[in-house]
Structures are given as structure tokens and as C-alpha cells.
């Protein structure tokens, strides 16, 4: 094994603060997304709504990220030292593996959500003929394949080396993988930005037209806004906490400088923050469907689900 590699002085106190922040975010992310999974499992209207399948895939991934990263964050927090941090590289590589997996899955699903909304807005006839369940499953398969490729490179390109005062997996992976990781996530991020901008432009156009012809299109405009509320909110959250950091990392990696050595495990914090915000957006936008209704309202919930599927 190669001798330990000195990566420079990091602010270990700030790194400890980031660890604590991540632990708090893990609790909220696991709780919120766990509730969403429970709502989907027990609410007939949500369970049968294929339009929400990508959202539940995102929530499941965020839930498992919050739980799966616990050994990684707890280990680094317990073994933190104000003067010098020296972590076991093999343990870090194994326990941090959920991060590149969920990062690629989350970025791909975000692009899938944005693409689906674009099809619905610009090609409604094609969207109505699409099976949303099949579309969501295809996006998930693509996301898993991309994540699997990332994991293969993650292990193939990274030598096991100690890195003194390194408080994040970004320092332990090789320069080649870090470069690929940043650029590939930046490409997905830019795709999400482009698709999201087209959605926001179309929504603004529809709202402008509806303000002119209020009596004729007010009801349709309200339905359009409600149908896109969850997807649009999640896209905005992903742009802020997932896409922006990915693009930033990609640009910085092009200069040959590793941002991970400077700011620590910010990717985990950003991804968990996105999971928490997305969860709150979903619950706030679908609060009426999140209630577990009694059996006597079963027919009403079926009708509501059918109506929401066409919105």
C-alpha cells in the first residue's frame, strides 16, 4: 500500500460541523421520505397513480441514502480529531458507496421528471398515449445502469490510500474518477436545467394567456398548475441542491482542482437537503391524498385518482 498522502490543512472544526449537519439531515430525510413511502403503500389513490411513480422512486432512493450513509458519517464523526484525521480508506470506500449510487440515480430521475413534464406540455397527444408506469420503469432502469457504471469505475480507478485530514469520500477516490464523476453529473445537471427552463417558460406563457381570458380558461389553468405543482417544486429543489453543486464541481474539476479537499462532504449534505425539501414539497402539494381515508370513501378516492391522472 502506498504511504499516507498529505492533502493539506483543512478546517477540521468546520468539517465536524458538516458531519453534525448531515446527521440531522439524515434523520429528517429518512423520516419524511419514510412517511411518503408509507402514504404510497397505504393510500389507494397514490398507489394507483402512475404519474407519481418517478416521485416515489426518488423518495425510496433518498430514504435508503439517509439510512445507508449512517455508518459512513457516524464513523467519521466518532473518529474526528481536531489536530489530525486519518480514516481507514477501505471502510470509507465501502460505507460511502451509497453516495455515488444515489447521486447518479437522483440526477437521472430528475432529468426523467423534467423530460416527462416537457412531453406533457409540448406533446400532449403523445403524453396521453404513453404508459406512465412503463416510462417511469425505463427511467429507473437507465438510472440503475448509470449508477452501476459509476460504482464499477469507483472501485476500478481508485487505489486504497490514506489521506491525512481528509473528511470526505471525494478525497479518497482517484483524480480520474473524480473528474469523470464531476463531468458526468454536470452533463445531467445541464440537461435538467434546459428541460426545467422550458417548463417554467411554458407555465409562464400559459399563466399570461389565462390572465387575458380568465372566464374561458381559469379552470383549465388551475388544473394545469395543480398537476405540475409537485414536479415543478421538485425540479426547483433539485436545481438548487443537486444540479448547481454538480455543475460547480464539474467546472472546478476541469481546472484540475478538487473542491472536495476544500469544503468536505458537501455532496452528501446537498443530496440529503434535496431529499428533505422534495419530501416536504410532495406532502404539501398532495396533502389531500396523503390522508389515509376510511374504507367507506374508497369509491371517492378511486374517482379522485382517475381525475388526477388526466390533469
DSSP letter string, 97-139: THHHHHHHHHHHHHHHHHHHHHHHHH-HHHHHHS-HHHHHHHH
Name every residue whose Cβ is closer than 8 Å to that of residue 265 and which is 6 or more positions away in sequence: 15, 18, 19, 22, 73, 76, 167, 168, 169, 170
Question: Does the predicted model carry a pTM greater than 0.85?
Answer: no
- Rounded to whole angstroms, how far apart are CA atoms 39 and 282? 11
Query: SS3 for 162?
Result: coil
Rg (CA), the chain: 21
| Cβ–Cβ < 8 Å for 89, 172 | yes
Q: How many CB atoms lie within 10 A of CB 175?
A: 12
Residues 156-196: tens digit of each pLDDT: 999 999 988 888 888 899 888 988 888 888 888 889 889 88
> Quick one: pLDDT band at residue 115, thresholds 50, 70, 90?
very high
| Domain coordinates in residue numbering, the chain | 5-309
Between these two residues, 68 and 170, which has the higher pLDDT value?
Answer: 68
DSSP 52: G
Task: Count the residues in the chain.
Answer: 311
Identify the CATH number of the domain defined by range 5-309.
1.20.1070.10
Amino acid at each position: 500500500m502506498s504511504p499516507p498522502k498529505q492533502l493539506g490543512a483543512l478546517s477540521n472544526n468546520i468539517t465536524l460541523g458538516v458531519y453534525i449537519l448531515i446527521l440531522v439531515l439524515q434523520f429528517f430525510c429518512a423520516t419524511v421520505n419514510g412517511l411518503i413511502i408509507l402514504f404510497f403503500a397505504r393510500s389507494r389513490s397514490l398507489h394507483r397513480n402512475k404519474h407519481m411513480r418517478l416521485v416515489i422512486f426518488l423518495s425510496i432512493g433518498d430514504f435508503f441514502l439517509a439510512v445507508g450513509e449512517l455508518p459512513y458519517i457516524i464513523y467519521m464523526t466518532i473518529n474526528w480529531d481536531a489536530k489530525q484525521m486519518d480514516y481507514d480508506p477501505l471502510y470509507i470506500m465501502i460505507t460511502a458507496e451509497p453516495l455515488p449510487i444515489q447521486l447518479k440515480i437522483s440526477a437521472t430521475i430528475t432529468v426523467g421528471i423534467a423530460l416527462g413534464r416537457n412531453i406533457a406540455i409540448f406533446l400532449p397527444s403523445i403524453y396521453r398515449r404513453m404508459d406512465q408506469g412503463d416510462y417511469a420503469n425505463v427511467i429507473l432502469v437507465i438510472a440503475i445502469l448509470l449508477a452501476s457504471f459509476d460504482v464499477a469505475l469507483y472501485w476500478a480507478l481508485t487505489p486504497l490510500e490514506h489521506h491525512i485530514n481528509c473528511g470526505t469520500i471525494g478525497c479518497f477516490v482517484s483524480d480520474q474518477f473524480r473528474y469523470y464523476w464531476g463531468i458526468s453529473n454536470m452533463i445531467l445537471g445541464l440537461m435538467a436545467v434546459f428541460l426545467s427552463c422550458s417548463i417554467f417558460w411554458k407555465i409562464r406563457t400559459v399563466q399570461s394567456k389565462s390572465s387575458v381570458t380568465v372566464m374561458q380558461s381559469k379552470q383549465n389553468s388551475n388544473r394545469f398548475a395543480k398537476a405540475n405543482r409537485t414536479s415543478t417544486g421538485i425540479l426547483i429543489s433539485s436545481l438548487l441542491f443537486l444540479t448547481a453543486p454538480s455543475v460547480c464541481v464539474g467546472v472546478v474539476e476541469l481546472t484540475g482542482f478538487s473542491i472536495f479537499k476544500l469544503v468536505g462532504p458537501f455532496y452528501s449534505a446537498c443530496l440529503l437537503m434535496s431529499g428533505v425539501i422534495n419530501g416536504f414539497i410532495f406532502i404539501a402539494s398532495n396533502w389531500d391524498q396523503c390522508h389515509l381515508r376510511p374504507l367507506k370513501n374508497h369509491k371517492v378516492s378511486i374517482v379522485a385518482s382517475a381525475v388526477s391522472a388526466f390533469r
